[in-house]
Amino acid sequence: MSEVAEGRRARGGGGAARRAERTAVRIECAKFIERNIPNLEILNDEALEIIEANAETILEEVGVNFVENPEALKRWKDAGADVTGERVRIPKGLARQLCKTAPSSYVQHARNPERNVTVGGKGLVLAPVYGPPFVRDADGGRRYATLDDFQKFVKLGYMSKWLHHSGGTVCEPTDVPVNKRHLDMLLAHMTLSDKPYMGSVTEPVRAEDSVEMSKILFGSDFVDQNTVMTSLININSPMTFDGIMMGALEVYAKANQAAIISPFIVGGAMAPVTVAGTLTQVMAEVLAGVAYSQLIRQGAPVIFGAFVTSIDMNSGAPTFGTPEAAHITYGAGQLARRMGLPYRSAGSFCGSKLPDAQAAYETSNSLNMGLLAGVNFMLHSCGWLEGGLVSSFEKFVMDADQLGVLHHIAKGIDMSETGQAMDAIREVGPGGHYLGCAHTQANFKQAFWRTELLDYKPFETWDEEGARDTVALAKARVTKLLNDYQKPAIDPAIEEALNEYVAKKKASMPDAFM
Amino acid sequence: MSEVAEGRRARGGGGAARRAERTAVRIECAKFIERNIPNLEILNDEALEIIEANAETILEEVGVNFVENPEALKRWKDAGADVTGERVRIPKGLARQLCKTAPSSYVQHARNPERNVTVGGKGLVLAPVYGPPFVRDADGGRRYATLDDFQKFVKLGYMSKWLHHSGGTVCEPTDVPVNKRHLDMLLAHMTLSDKPYMGSVTEPVRAEDSVEMSKILFGSDFVDQNTVMTSLININSPMTFDGIMMGALEVYAKANQAAIISPFIVGGAMAPVTVAGTLTQVMAEVLAGVAYSQLIRQGAPVIFGAFVTSIDMNSGAPTFGTPEAAHITYGAGQLARRMGLPYRSAGSFCGSKLPDAQAAYETSNSLNMGLLAGVNFMLHSCGWLEGGLVSSFEKFVMDADQLGVLHHIAKGIDMSETGQAMDAIREVGPGGHYLGCAHTQANFKQAFWRTELLDYKPFETWDEEGARDTVALAKARVTKLLNDYQKPAIDPAIEEALNEYVAKKKASMPDAFM
C-alpha cells in the first residue's frame, strides 16, 4: 500500500487533487454534540449497585456462551474463567477488572480531519439508520433496497448538517451478492462522503477487508496508530456470543479499531419483562463482551451498547419509543458512565409503516431520551422505519432536521450578560415589544434553532401552496439534497486504488446470495 | 341555592339518582401522575440566583403595569410598592415576601371524588387543549368551532383514560354569543363529565357565574371551603396585567379558587431572544402576579405558569417543540420549585396545520420536556394544532394515547425482587427465550405500556387492512369513543338547577358577538 500512502501524504501537492479540492462545494456539517446540560439520572446509587452485583452473580453462576469459537474459550480459561463446553462462567470481579483497560473515550478519524469525532465523555455522535433490507419513498412505496439506494443514503448523510457520521449498512444493497456487498458499501462511504464510517461485521474476512480498504484510504501507518472505524458487534441476547460476530470483533480489536458491544434486546423475549431485570442482563452481557475485547488487545476502544425495544405481548411485534425503553436507556447510560465507557443507545426508532405521526411520536420519544440518557454514539439517529425493516428517504431528512433540536438543547443556557438581556428588558418595558430592540437585532440570527424542513407559514399561504404535509415537504428536500450533492474531493490515486481493491476482491470469489 | 345543596347531599338516596348511578358505565380514568423519577435540573444554583436577583431588579427599577384597575394600584401602594400612574415598582424582597402565603400544593375537587387531583409536589395533572377558535377533523377539514364540537371534546376528554381534567375552553363555541358561551361551556363540563374543570376568565362577571354554577354543582358550603376550579389568568407580557384578567383573578382568589398566573411569551416578541432573559422576565411577572393574588386573599391557591414559544425570525410565526422552549420550560420549573409553587407549562404544542409527523415531533418534544421539567399542571396536553388556532379531533386522541407514555415513564423503575427478575435470568440462561418463562407469564400483563391507537401489526396485515396512517386510526377511535360515550350519573335536581341558571342568565342579557 505504500504508493497509496504516498498519494495520501501528497494530497494538496498533486495537481489533480488540488483542482478537486478547489472546485468542491463546501458542505456544512455541525461538530459532534458536546453536552452542556446534565443527564437524567433515573436510578439512585443503591439501585445501580444492586444491578451491578446481580450482573456479576449471573456471570459467575449462570455464565455466558461463546459458541463455535474454541480460541475464545481458551482465552477465557487462561484469564481465570470456569469454562465448561461453550459455557463461560466468570468469577465475580474478573470481568470488571478486565474492562478497566478499555478507554473512556476515543477519537474516530475521518478522512477529512474536520469531521473527526470524539466518542465518549459529554459527546454525542449521530450516525444514520443501519441494516434495513427495504427502502421506502413517497413515490415508490416499499421495496427491496439496492446499491443505488445505498449510495443515495450516503449522499443524503453527507448533505445532512446535523449528522456527524456516515454510518454503515444504511440499507442492505440486496442486488449485490451477500459476500461482496460490503465492498461496495465501504467504497460508497469512503468516496461519496468524507465523514467517519463503520466497518463490516458479517464475516471476519469482511472485517479484514474493511481494515485493508481503510489502510488504502488513510495510509497503513495511520490506521495502525489511529481508530478510523466504529463497528457494530451485536450480542445474541440472552448471553450468547457467536463466532462470526466475535470473529469480527477480534479483527477490529487487534487492529485497534472501535467496536460497539451491543446486547440486542427485545424485552419480554430476549430479556425479562422488567426493566431492572433487563438492565441486569445488559450489564452482564456488556461486562463479558468488553472484557473479551480487552483479552484480544488491552486498550482496544469499545462502546457500552444497548439496543433496546420491548415486545407487544399481544402480537409479538417489537415496539419503539415506549416508556420501558426509556427507562432502560436512562439506566444503561448510568451503568456505562460508572464503568467509564462510551455509551451507545437510542435512535430514530419507530414501529410505524409510514413516516406519519406514529413514527414521529415514537422517534421523538427515543431521540429525546437518547440525548438526556447521556448517549455518546447514536446509531439509527435518522431514517429508521417499520421496526428497522425499512430505510425511509423522507424520514431520513425529517429525522435529520430534528437532530438540530438535540444540538441546540445540548448547548445549555447562556448565562452571559448578553444571555441575561437586562438591557433589553429595561429598554422595552411593560407593554412594549422586543422585535425592534437593539438586543434582538444583535442576537436574533443565532438565537433560535431553525428548521430546514418544517412548515411555519400562515394557514392561507400553506393552503395555497398545496396544503403539503411533512412527507411532501420531505420528499422535496430529498430531491433538492440529491440534486445539490457534490462529491467531496478525494485524491484520484486513492480512489483508483480503492476501486482496484474492490474489483480484485470481487473477481476472486463466486457470488453468494445467502 | 339551599334546595340544590339539599339535592346534592341527598345523592344516592333519591330514586332517580340511584337509578342513574346503577346504569352508568364505568369509565376508566388514571390517577394523576405522581412522579417517581427525578426532574432535569438544567441550571445550577448560581444561575438560578442570578435570574432571581435580576427579576427583582426589574420589578424595582422598571416595574409592571396594572392597567384600568385603580383598586389594584391602591392595594399595591398599601402593600409598600411605588405606584406612579399605572406603573407599579416593587421594592426588592416585597413580592417574594407576599408570595410566601401561596400554598405549595392544593386539591382541586371534582364532583366525582375519585377524580380529585392534587396540584403541586411531584404530581402532574393533564388537561386538554384550551382556546382554539377552529376545529379540524379528517372528514370536514378546518372550520369554526361550534358548541356541538365543544361538547364532543368534553365527551372525548371524559372517555380518555390518561386525561385527569376536563379543561376549560376546549374550543371556542363560536355559534354562541360571546357573552353567553361561558355558560354553555361550564354546563358541558359539569354535566357531560365528572372530571375537574376550569372557570371562565373573559370577564369578571363570567368568573362570578363560574363560581355560582360551581356552588349549584357542589353545594355552597363546599365551594366556600374547597377549591373546585383552576382557571387560566394570562399576563400580557411584557409585564402588563390587564383589568379584565385581574378582575377574574380577584373573583377567584376571593372565592379561594385556583388560578394559573401565566406569562404568555413568544420569545423574541414579548420577551428577549435569549433564554436567560426570558426566564428573568417570566420570574418577574410571576412574582408580581402571585404577590397580587395574595394581596387579594392570603393563601389563595395559585400556579406558577409559563406559556412559552419562540418566534420564527423569518416569518414572525410562533414555533413549538423547539430547543429554546425546552430550555425555558426546564428553567422555569426550577424557579417554581424554589418558590415552592405548583408549576404549569408544556402541552401538545405544534405549529403544523395537520396532525402529521411535524405535529407529532413538536408535540412529543414538548410532552417529554413537560414531564422532565417537573410540570404539575399541563394545560393543552392533547388536541392542540396549528399554533393553538385549531382543536383537532384526531390529534386529541393521538396525543391522549401518548399521555400514557408519560404515566409509565413517571412510575420509575421497579427494584423489587420481581423487578430484578434474577429467577427469570437463571431459568432462561444463555440462548434461551423469555416468552414462556414463569416470570414473564406472571408479569407480562402489567409490564409494558400499551397503546390503544398505534399500529404494531405485521406489514402484510396492515397492508391488507388498508395501509392506514395514524390519522385514519385516530379517526376511527374518535368515532368509537363518541359512540361508546355514556353520560356520568348526576343528580337530576342539580342538573335541572344548572340548566335553569344558564337559561335565566341567558335571558337576562342581549346577545353579544364581540
What tens digit of pLDDT does each residue of A44-65 get? 999 999 999 999 999 999 999 9
Of B87, B420, B433, nearest to A269 by CB-CB distance is B433
pLDDT of residue A512: 87
Comparing C-alpha atoms, which of B121, B124, B122 is closest to residue B103?
A: B121
Tell me the per-residue pLDDT of A148-190, one tens digit each, with 9 for 90 and over: 999 999 999 999 999 999 999 999 999 999 999 999 999 999 9
Nearest CA in chain B to A271: B434
B418 vs B410: CA distance, rounded Å: 19
What is the least distance, in Å, from the CA of B412 to any CA of chain A? 7
Of B240, B356, B419, nearest to A357 by CB-CB distance is B356
Mean of pLDDT values over A212-237: 97
Confidence of residue A2 (pLDDT cuts 50, 70, 90): very low
DSSP assigned state of B25: P
Grid cell listed for A165: 457520521
**Identity at B445, one-letter amino acid code:** K
Tell me the per-residue pLDDT of A375-428, one tens digit each, with 9 for 90 and over: 999 999 999 999 999 999 999 999 999 999 999 999 999 999 999 999 999 999
pLDDT of residue B5: 32
pLDDT of residue B12: 41
SS3 B411: coil
Looking only at the bridges linking them, the beta strands covering B318-319 and B307-311 are: antiparallel
Q: What ipTM score was computed for the predicted complex, to two decimals?
A: 0.94
pLDDT of residue B10: 38
Of A87, A443, A449, nearest to B430 by CB-CB distance is A87
Nearest CA in chain B to A352: B455
**Identity at B78, one-letter amino acid code:** D
SS3 per residue for A461-511: HHHHCCCCCHHHHHHHHHHHHHHHCCCCCCCHHHHHHHHHHHHHHHHCCCC
Nearest CA in chain B to A317: B456
Looking only at the bridges linking them, the beta strands covering B302-305 and B343-344 are: parallel
Looking only at the bridges linking them, the beta strands covering A377-378 and A123-126 are: parallel
Residue whose C-alpha cell is 379531533: B393
For the cut 80, the answer to whether the pLDDT of residue A308 exceeds it is yes
CB B130 within 8 A of CB B150: no
Of A40, A238, A356, nearest to B428 by CB-CB distance is A238
CA dist list (Å): A254 to A197, A277, A298, A392: 18, 33, 9, 35
Residues of chain A contacting B268 with CB distance shorter than 8 Å: 434-435, 440, 444, 447-448
pLDDT of residue B14: 52
pLDDT of residue A3: 31
B258 vs B109: CA distance, rounded Å: 11
Pairwise CB contact (< 8 Å): A430 & B87: yes
CB contacts < 8 Å between A and B, how many? 402
pLDDT of residue B15: 59
pLDDT of residue A445: 85
Average pLDDT, chain A: 94
Q: How many C-beta atoms surround the C-beta of residue B29 within 10 A?
A: 19
Q: Percent of chain A, pLDDT > 70? A: 95
pLDDT of residue A4: 31
Of B284, B414, B449, nearest to A276 by CB-CB distance is B414
Comparing C-alpha atoms, which of B506, B274, B16, B463 is closest to residue A412?
A: B274
CB A328 within 8 A of CB A375: no
pTM to 2 decimal places: 0.94
DSSP A102-160: S-SEEEEP-SSGGG-EEEETTEEEE------SEEEETTTEEEE--HHHHHHHHHHHHH-
Nearest CA in chain A to B432: A238
Residues of chain B contacting A52 with CB distance shorter than 8 Å: none
Tell me the per-residue pLDDT of A263-300, one tens digit each, with 9 for 90 and over: 999 888 999 999 999 999 999 999 999 999 999 999 99
Helix axes A181-192, A204-218, angle to 10 degrees: 30
CA dist list (Å): B165 to A385, A425, B158, B411: 34, 36, 8, 20
Residue whose C-alpha cell is 393553538: B388
Tell me the per-residue pLDDT of B205-245, one tens digit each, with 9 for 90 and over: 999 999 999 999 999 999 999 999 999 999 999 999 999 99
Residue spans of chain B under pLDDT 70: 1-26
CA dist list (Å): A228 to A109, A197, A199, A213: 5, 8, 9, 11
B331 vs B265: CA distance, rounded Å: 14
**Identity at B268, one-letter amino acid code:** G
Nearest CA in chain A to B454: A358
Looking only at the bridges linking them, the beta strands covering B240-241 and B258-267 are: unpaired
Residues of chain A contacting B395 with CB distance shorter than 8 Å: 357
Residues of chain B contacting A321 with CB distance shorter than 8 Å: 405
A419 vs A421: CA distance, rounded Å: 5
Q: Please give the span between the terminal C-alpha atoms of chain A, in angstroms, as a whole number.
A: 32
A164 vs A78: CA distance, rounded Å: 40
**Identity at A256, one-letter amino acid code:** N
For the cut 50, the answer to whether the pLDDT of residue A237 exceeds it is yes
Chain B interface, best mutation among A413, A416, A441, A443, by max B CB count within 10 A: A413
